Structure 1
Amino acid sequence: MEPDAALKIIARGTEEIITLEDLRRKLASGRPLRIKLGVDPTRPDLHLGHAVVLRKMRQFQELGHKVILLIGDFTGMIGDPSGRSKTRPPLTLEETRANARSYVAQARKILLQDDEVFELRYNSEWLSRLSFEEVIRIAAQMTVAQMLEREDFKKRYTEGVPIGIHEFLYPLAQGYDSVALEADVEMGGTDQKFNLLVGRDLQKFYGQEPQVLVLMPLLVGLDGVEKMSKSLDNYVGVSEEPAVMFKKLMRVPDEVLPDYFRLLTDLEPAEVEEVVGKGGMVGAHRVLARILTAAYAREVIPAWLDRAFYERLGYRLEEAGRDRQPRQPELAELAGVVAQAEARYDEVARGGVPDDVPTVEIDPAELKDGRIWVARLFTLAGLTRSNGEARRLIQNRGLRIDGEVVTDPNLEVSLERPLILKRGKDRFARVRLRG
């Protein structure tokens, strides 16, 4: 592929490339580039926010370049301070490696695994062997003033929040990773810009050609405010069950829906406008949910989540997603998975109860005179985190029992028969007395 055509593919959806001319020159060299993505597996699960960067890595693979998934098992013991308002609790080497196994398994849904285009590395390979003398040489390449240019460090320093010396070592360690791997390109979110720039500086110090930085936007979560994060419970996991993924994608706030199309699919902006024009925001949500539910229900997602992929599933963009038979018989099963997930969503939206509601058995010891406090019941059922949260939801008419809104926070409930509990629009549990 011509360098300019490859550059157009890579540049799409990026926030910033440092520098675009350097990337054009590297692509024009004709040799396979080494594309680095460093991850600290502080949590074992991947969500669509991670997929934004991983999909861009996949595009490099499709163009014939090698991606290096670098597991920061050693730097995970420091903890990335990026965006942190306080020192992050360090993990043990064993914890980072356990999380890494899950991380890598899920990343395989997006990244190709052929040796020609994929390499898995752990930075303990070289960081654990660095002498203290070499650490001093590396540390000498940065000043305290430069470190305090980082917004998170600057804010903490100004507010008198402690900054550990080991946190200053994090960007240096991440930068040295680029030296060890001789990276041509490093990927990351916009919050990683400082760390990635350090990699360029250290490569120059060690006599290497500086890496190009490809910075991707941070995907806003389902709350429409914060970046997608499992800790904020505003995420869509890449390994979610199809029905769960479809339901969550239908909850994407309207104002950030264009970003989801831009960062997670390959539909053209004009096509997205066409979808909204034909089916409104609800229709656009359905198109997004269908594409991504189908893609992540596969063992490996398709290279391009575009109009062609959508129409092969049996839908038409110009008809606001009206059903059609899959154009390829081998996609019939996948189309059926999507249709089933959508049907379940519609059933719940109409007030129905899904067939696969989880059943929770209540210990008879929780009952007093054959009854249980309603707030305690919802908490035991796993629909609320505490009795206090249950009380607040009752006051806001957010909880139901067998379809009836619970209005009395002091209600005592009998469990003579199984009951269907519901929180909000789509969270259910069936409760019954144990034994």
Structure 2
Amino acid sequence: MKHFSVVALLCLLFASCTKDKLPVPGQNPTSLPATVETLISGFPEGFESGSKAAYAIGNVSLPSGTWSFDEALIGNLATDAKNGGKSVRIRNSGSITMLFDVNNAVQVSIAHAKFGSDVASTWQLWYSTDGGANWAQTGSNVVTVTTTLQTVVFNTNLSGPARFQIRKLAGSGRVNIDDFSIESDTTTTNPPDTTVITPGDNSNLLMGNPSNAATDIAMPANYLMDKTYYSLSYNRDRGTPNWVSWHMNASDLGSTPRQDDYRADNSLPSGWYRVPSSGYSGSGFDRGHNCPSADRTSSVAANSATFLMSNMIPQAPNNNQQTWNNLEDYTRGLVTAGNEVYVISGVYGTGGTGSNGGVTNTINGGNVTVPSNIWKVIVVIPNGNNDLGRVTTSTRVIAVNTPNTNSINSNWKVYRTSVDAIEAATGYDLLSSLPVSVQNSIEAVVDNL
């Protein structure tokens, strides 16, 4: 979660900061105009003047405008996380929706926290540019895991009228929302990209956050990172991801050549060890991609993103170059045949056998743990929209769990297993965004096609 500094907060309150718009990929940065971002009148909305004591659906008049609250109320209990005396509290699959439009919203920031001792919650920010007739998700799913308010920022870059909605995903946890802020771009001359994405579809975490990872330095063993082309849970102490999750369809497969620009991930928190590109040298293990280079050939930026060392694991060469490569080729074949896939890849355990022989527990001076097992779960659905709604009890799910050894069989099908078995080995809750009845069915099956 992003935190504002004191200076940034003062800029937000007094709307006096001037910022340069980030370059759009493929454009010359020097051709973009400077922009001035200012708070839209009525924001930030702190929900202090509103009153709604019940979860039943109803409208609330606030300084920013009228909002619809569904399975949501304005809470003022000691267990409500809040700045001031009140904040929104949402339960189940509830939502809060603006019933009014704002113009040229380029950035939305929202403070959020768990209610009391509730379990973590997942929620999304959606927008509508046609008065609420149609909605699309902006940004990635947000997982709320702490009882202290954290601020998340969405770069919406919208031109013209729009309204916003917060949707909580089904679950037993309740989430508090406060300080809903919208900034507008008052001087843009180049219209922002307002491509509407099918609601929720294609998000790297659409199938769920297996370990409830969060972008919180207090969670170094389960640190959530959004790399645009994939999302991951990073483990500082192991020097590798716990898991990496991504979506792939035909638009991700192009003609961009392999970049081979392995490099340390400098976006890791200050003070954390950053595995260098040479960190696996001489170890007998490959720098094994989780999200494969060949899954991201639509652009140089997409392919280059896969070469961050935070996407790598120490993988036995034959596992990487044969077994895993064959599975990756097969998966891309499913995509070119008219499907889209959601993939989650991860590791567990300690101790693998590389080309040097013998079991190795760590490499790179002890900074990188060698896993004993490497697993992957692939959800396969025909191309289309409303992806979550189209996953049924008959959807094909491929689960594979391989030992991290150089004597491995090159036929990945030998290592097929069930999602339930991988969950038992890792403690993760895979495909958690799906209805429980669907999970119970497809997670028990071992693929045999």
Give the TM-score normalised by structure 1: 0.27
Rg larger in structure: 1
**Whose strand proportion is higher, 1 or 2?**
2
**Whose helix proportion is higher, 1 or 2?**
1
Give the TM-score normalised by structure 2: 0.26
